[in-house]
Structure 1
Amino acid sequence: MLTDDLSRYVALHEAMGFKFRTQRILLRMFVTYAEHHGDGMVKSDRVIAWAIQAPSPEQRRNRLLTVRRFAIAMHAEDPGHEVPAADALGRGLFRRKQPYIYSAEEIEGLMVAAASLGPIGTLRPLTYYTLFGLLAATGMRISEALALRLGDVTDDGLVIASTKFKKSRLVPIHSTTRAAIDRYLSARLSIIGETTALFLSNEGTPPRYDTVSAIFRKISRKIGLRGAPGQPGPRIHDMRHSFAVRSLEQCPCDNDAVSRHILALSTYLGHAHVHDTYWYLQAIPSLMAQIADIAETFDRTGAA
């Protein structure tokens, strides 16, 4: 059955060290769809029919290529599995998603909406309130936040052990952020008791990434940051972009200071290369004003 094939395929990738989170979700959706139609093997027409249900061309192509890689692996074991053509939905060009830079008011709105989640009196609203606040205050990846353990909360900051590039790092945090974590820990321990994960659901298990994403979209729509389901809008990952941009806003308009700040920011964010950090920096009015000031100084004096 396709379910068994998928389990082996996912287990292989996870054993090789891949997180395989998004791929696992998409493939599970496809397998459910295919088996609902009575398929025991991958069929090209079924893959395409499922892929075109996605709301955007980029998501349709991602669905197609994700299942295609699965189909190639299964076809190597049994030629009965069909491999859809890579260009069955056209040839797409990779385009980076335009980051959304949150304002302080929007971050506050997200946190207030998270705190109002139900059921009232449970750990759930406090979990999401603290989780989204931590992402905004530190710029860490959502996968890193969900992987935090109690022992990762230290006097010097947060120890990020499960990183994208398998490198541990220490993330210093502001006293107000630490106070918020301490308040969460107090409530969490009194409601559920001792476990190893920092963030917990009402069931006592760490929240799943897809569940957190769904909650984030729900409250984003509630406060008017997103449109109807299927429409694009600000993402959780944009909190990381926002953190980087707001951080640079605080940097003095000096070439040496900016260079030092970018290097420190790259280390703080856990980037493998400093040039990766520049992708996180977007042109917003305050940064453009700084650039204009530097350009005027250079034009007037010949030195920035």
Structure 2
Amino acid sequence: MLNLDLARYAELQHHLGFRFRIQHTLRKSFVAFAEGSGDQYVQTARVLAWATLAPSPQQRRNRLLTVRRFALALSAEDRHHEIPPADALGRRLFERRIPHIYTADEITALMRAAALLKPSGSIRPLLYETLFGLLAATGMRVSEALALSLDDLTADGLVIRQTKFQKSRLLPLHATTWEALDRYVSARQRLGTLNDALFVSTTGTPPSYPTVIAIFLRLARSTGLRGQPGQPGPRIHDLRHTFAVRSLEQCRPDRDAVGRHIVALSTYLGHAHVTDTYWYLQATPILMGQIASAGEALHQGAVA
């Protein structure tokens, strides 16, 4: 019964335009857990038992809130479904998670580890080496990269059609990025699959979002970027933060140039508002040095 309820809920979310891949995976996990105990309705005790299986407080709370939204929708139709309290696992004030700004050596290590994935000689190692490199070189979202098709490779750059805000955009690419993509596409075309997705696995189909995250975490731990499961560390999304910060570091440090650069960066990242781009910026020694120089110039009466 819960499985049918989940199918109806997922279909409704899809029609409303939501594409919550991770949340849907969590809800499926909960439904399997609950139905394994014979539950036909959402029960608070079962939600908490399932949520506390997660390795960290943040993940446990995320599990609770994800299923709670599902329970709210079901309870509106049938009061037999219980709605777990939002603070059942404690209250937590929102705190911005400080992004990890990757060094060039860390990105290189991650890509080299991907190139050693098994089975060697298959498309899999090259797929993840190219995918992680493309994320670092463009700052695009993982979902956008996985939605790319071969037709999205144009002479002017990558066409991003599947965006968070339903807006298409063009990403010009550096020559070295084109070289890496050309090498991957040559190998990908030898698969002979009818699927037109750019990134495909050994089965000829695109890898799922959870699979990509799992591979990233495994490689990040193997290279020393992250600790054991449940411990905080660099995320794949931090490659997007890194792109934004490194891009700003290359900008000429004067007010007009920075203003123009931020607008261009916001467009490149696919943000609906330029203020969204500020969220991706993080202080680095280079940026702090530029800010100090600008402050010194202002103090001396010059234009910063």
Determine if contact 2:55/2:229 at 8 Å carries over to the other structure: no
Supply the distance in 2 between the matched residues of 1:193 and 1:49 (Cα, whole angstroms).
43
> What secondary structure sits across from 1:301 in the alignment?
coil
The corresponding residue for 2:173 is: 173
Mapping 1:42-121, distance limit 5 Å? 42-121=42-121
Structure 2 unaligned regions, length at least 5: none
Gaps of 5+ in 1: none
1:157 aligns with 2:154: no
Pairing 1:144–2:119 present: no
Shift of 1:302: 4.8
CA distance in 2, matches of 1:115, 1:5: 42
Residues 76-96 of structure 1, C-alpha deviations (whole Å, 9 max, x = no match): 222211111222222221222
Q: Is the 8 A contact 1:117 1:125 kept in 2?
A: yes
RMSD: 1.1
Post-superposition offset of 1:138: 0.4
TM-score normalised over the length of structure 2: 0.97
Take 1:61 and 1:44, find their aligned partners in 2: how far apart are those partners? 14
- Structure 1 residue 45, shift from structure 2 partner: 0.6
C-alpha distance in structure 2 between counterparts of 1:109 and 1:223, whole Å: 7
Deviations 1:94-145 (A, max 9, x none): 2222110000000000000000000111111110011000000000000000
The CA distance in 2 between the partners of 1:25 and 1:192, in whole Å, is 30
Instruction: Give the secondary-structure state (helix, strand or coil) at the position aligned to 1:48.
Output: helix
Secondary structure, in 3 states, of the residue corresponding to 1:95?
A: coil
Contact 1:225 1:233 in 2 (8 A): yes
Match of 1:263 in 2: 263
TM-superposition CA deviations, 1:258-289 (whole Å, max 9, x none): 00111110011111100111111101111101
SS at match of 1:159: strand
Q: Secondary structure at the match of 2:82?
A: coil
Return the letter of the residue paired with 2:191: I
2:191–2:204 CA contact under 8 A, matched in 1: no
Conserved? CA contact 1:53–1:60, under 8 Å: yes
AA aligned opposite 1:124: R
In the alignment, the residues of structure 1 paired with residue 271 and residue 33 of structure 2 have an alpha-carbon distance, to the nearest angstrom, of 37
Structure 1 residue 204: deviation in Å? Answer: 0.9
1:169-191 Cα shifts (integer Å, max 9, x gaps): 00111111112111111101112
Q: Which residue of 1 aligns with 2:286?
A: 286
Percent of counterpart pairs with the same letter?
64
Asked whether the 8 Å contact 1:58–1:92 carries over to 2, the reply is no
Distance in 1 of aligned mates of 2:25 and 2:193: 30
Partner of 1:170, secondary structure, is: strand
Within 5 A, what are the aligned runs for 1:7-26?
7-26=7-26
Residue 5 of structure 1 aligns with an amino acid whose one-letter code is D
- The two structures have a TM-score, normalised by structure 1, of 0.97
Alignment-derived partner of residue 133 in structure 1? 133
- 1:230-241 matches, cutoff 5 A: 230-241=230-241
Structure 2 CA distance, aligned partners of 1:192 and 1:58? 43
